[in-house]
């Protein structure tokens, strides 16, 4: 086989690998690509949504309980695994009293 040899280049380190918090001691990063500072004049609070623009429908009780369970798990830092979604669906089909008890168990310190 005849071919042209490929010259050996020094490997380049990707920019993400030079994160100073990931690799301590790397402090010679190019600061030109950093995000610009936000001007305080551009920062403002959003207005509250107008009541007449709210949707006119309500959630079904099962959907409301499912959202409550997801919110409680997320708030406590427990990420549901894919297999847990069936368990959350089964719990959301229970009555309000039972789901309130489960929510209390999840969120109690």
pLDDT digits over 5-53, tens only? 665 665 666 666 665 565 555 555 555 455 555 566 666 677 887 888 8
DSSP classification of residue 60? -
CB 93 within 8 A of CB 62: yes
CB 70 within 8 A of CB 48: no
CA quadruple 83, 86, 88, 92: dihedral, nearest 10: 180
pLDDT for 28 equals: 53
Mean pLDDT, all residues of the chain? 77
């Amino acid at each position: 086989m005849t071919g042209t040899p490929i010259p050996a280049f020094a490997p380049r380190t990707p920019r993400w690998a030079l994160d100073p918090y990931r690799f301590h001691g790397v402090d010679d990063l190019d600061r030109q690509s950093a995000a610009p500072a936000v001007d305080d004049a551009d920062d403002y609070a959003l207005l509250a949504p107008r009541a007449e623009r709210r949707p006119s429908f309500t959630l079904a009780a099962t959907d409301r309980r499912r959202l409550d369970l997801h919110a409680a798990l997320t708030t406590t830092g427990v990420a549901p695994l894919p297999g847990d979604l069936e368990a959350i669906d089964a719990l959301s089909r229970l009555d309000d009293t039972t789901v309130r008890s489960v929510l209390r168990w999840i969120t109690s310190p």
